[in-house]
Chain A
């Protein structure tokens, strides 16, 4: 086991001007499960492949433990790429399927057996060790494949979208297993995914990356509760955060004809580049229905409602001067509608105009110019 350090690492593909990964500095602590998440083309897989030794590093260095592996060949790095479509060998027992790579490496027999038994224990495969793969279920076979990586006892596990070629049922099951397994084994792990749900549910910490630039690193709750910029705010969480730009008038955000109080220290941080506006974000669960006369609330025209039994969701358009605000939404995945979670017993009707109050403690404020957090 070992700590992994990306030290000001840059990767520029031949023929490209822009780096695919730019000046990345990131520590993965010993035994930590770090999830690297971001949208398509953000550089997350490139980052993983640099650690694997598959991509050259143009600037900076990568350390595994106290070894500088920047220019080292993949096989010398003591890493394991998990789920590289391991085939199961029909004539070999489960134990041999898991341990044959050790045999190739010349590991003594008793040690192989010991490691295989340990891996089988964490994978819940002990009773199948002497069986052939065909006696196993699909899920068990998947675990045998994991076992092949585990028995090597590498310093680092690398997983690049490992669930993407599994069908939906096996995906959820395997997701839980990987997370549990990593915690049992305590092997430093870099896991790459585009799926923020995977990131939130699996990672000890999450690193969000966009266009080759690291945006924020932190525990899932940190990223959820205190996103450092607009991108992270919009990317993490499902349904995603409501994020809108509003004029600031007398220290308050003007939303249509309504105003919302803003904390003084946030407003003070605004600069002339922000042109008198502020980005206000709030999660669907951090707002509530308000009475018509209540201050610090804005009007929302209900476009759709959902009753999920335990929760109700209102989807609507913010009213500006009695007309629908056209360009208020910066980022939201609900077809640019503002989403509010409410008690399903209180759901309004489609077409109603309701007042919405945002929990001031849970409001996320950003500079429109820098997109950085203000509060």
Chain B
């Protein structure tokens, strides 16, 4: 069996779609570019409100009422989310050359249907009212429901969160490389993660150092991979420094995982199997290999060589983990696969029982969360809140209800089932959790400081203090530290903002419980480490987005 690389073999010039992507054509020679004397906007949007924005002011001083309080990633530049009519745009203040270049690149990548943020405009020729020139601005569409990795880490205790992000990043990197995009600055910071049917999907948000080529050299790919590894490890080390990372995460291991995943995926995706028509069983072997990598095969592209003597096969793959990703997208609940399946089934039952099959599942899911899921898990007695994951609790209540119904011969109301479960079954957790505590404490002996800092009262208090300091610094220090402020304050922000929709009240109580709890986490039925906060925070974030303008103290973005 021979392997050839389709991409490298066929691509010798840029994709025509990319060639015609935009009227902005930057050259490598900045001296040939003249900063326009008057405001100049090149936009893909015809939103007339673009012209009403205060372009004559430095972005950092834009009025608060224009800004959307959403979590931002680390950036070297001033970045803000701005309401423009019904849209939210991300604005980045950079030099004209970089702005135009990045706009042009993002346009090309969009034309190539790659997962990147959508460029909206490049704004040049900005001046203050006094005539002082201001830097150019790159405007992109805010990717709805997306989150920077720091916001995810602030709210996810699933121990494989880092790994799942890395897997998403590996997929993104491979896709970009296949299209001939050399990134030059791969990192978690330069990516946004979206909860969708594919769990975490990674989107490129920063193309400043990138270049689009007909195809990439091995050196370019390897450089990107090596840089990605270093940056990821650095980013995780940083989270660790901020006690935002569960103690058991091995930063270097996670960084290495990207390298491994990338290479496996690249090979799986680009190696073309070539075999005789009577060796079709080799397709199955190929598919199995992809399954081993955690991917489902969506399509197989097969063609015969001229003469028909050899069959060439190239697979197209999608991520595995369908149920947990679907629930994640619908409800923001980040749970195990089996829990997700259970919750989705209940969601379907709810939809059917309320005669809402014709409605958007997203809308039904919101109601299900409010009417079914949240009222149920809110009934977890405080003393158990640090011990049973809400999704697990919900799952067990459903099982309990089913058993009760079977015994009674008729349906049992949820509230009744919950009470029964709490009094009859939940106490079993006490013993279990004590045992678990001992086991965990022994197991975590080597990393106990990290674990305690992360879960214990110190960390919570520390985060709060950090956010307070950030706010103070921001007021005193202006825009320079704001990119970090957002990331920091997002940590507490999501939790606090959740208070706006009810779930946050719960979360606040959870936190209070966690602060006095010495139990960091426990092994759930599926063997994964879990925590209460993982359930509530995602919904809280959405609430934060909705509430953003009233919630400045929490998000502290301006």
Chain A residues within 8 Å of B, Cβ to Cβ:
13-15, 39-41, 45, 52-56, 73-75, 84-85, 87-92, 96, 100-101, 103-104, 133-134, 137-138, 161, 164-167, 194-195
Contact = CB atoms under 8 A, between A and B. Distances in A.
A103 B237 CA distance: 10
Interface string B233-245: 1110111011010
Nearest to A45: B28
A74 B241 contact: no
A85 B185 contact: yes
A166 B95 contact: yes
Contacts of A54: 182, 217, 219-220, 223
Interface of B: 11-13, 27-32, 74-76, 94-95, 97-98, 135, 182, 184-185, 187, 189, 206, 208-209, 214-215, 217-220, 222-223, 226-227, 230-231, 233-235, 237-239, 241-242, 244, 252, 255, 470, 473, 477, 480-481, 484-485, 487-488
Contact of B184 (A14, A84, A103): A84
A73 B485 CA distance: 38
A161 B101 CA distance: 14
A46 B298 CA distance: 39
Contact of B135 (A15, A74, A167): A167
Contacts, number: 125
By CB atoms of chain A within 10 A, which of B28, B208, B477 has the most? B28
Contacts of A167: 95, 135
B461 to A, nearest CB: 16
Nearest to A44: B28
B160 to A, nearest CB: 21
A100 B231 CA distance: 10
Contacts of A52: 219, 223
A89 B12 contact: no
A239 to B, nearest CB: 14
Nearest to B485: A134
Nearest to A75: B226
Contact of B219 (A73, A104, A161): A73
18 contacts: A14-B12, A40-B29, A41-B27, A45-B28, A53-B223, A54-B217, A54-B219, A84-B184, A89-B234, A89-B237, A91-B241, A91-B242, A100-B237, A104-B255, A133-B484, A134-B477, A134-B484, A164-B30
A101 B29 CA distance: 33
A165 B94 contact: yes
A84 B488 CA distance: 24
Nearest to B189: A87
A199 to B, nearest CB: 13
Nearest to B73: A87
A354 B189 CA distance: 62
Contacts of B481: 133-134
B185 A84 contact: yes
A164 B226 contact: no
Given A91-B238, A134-B484, A195 B230 contact: no
Contacts of A194: 28-31
A146 to B, nearest CB: 13
A15 B223 contact: no
Contacts of A88: 74, 76, 484
B28 A41 contact: yes
Contact of B217 (A55, A85, A133, A138): A55
Nearest to B227: A84
A75 B230 CA distance: 11
Contacts of B95: 164-167
Contacts of B227: 84
Given A74-B226, A137-B480, A92 B217 contact: no
A101 B98 contact: no
A165 B98 contact: yes
Given A54-B182, A167-B95, A89 B235 contact: yes
Give the 6 A-B CB pairs with smallest separation, nearest first.
A40-B29, A91-B242, A89-B238, A15-B12, A91-B241, A90-B484
Contact of B74 (A90, A101, A164, A195): A90
Contacts of B185: 84-85
Nearest to B226: A75
A84 B30 contact: no
B97 A15 contact: no
A203 B488 CA distance: 41
A65 B235 CA distance: 33
A90 B238 contact: yes
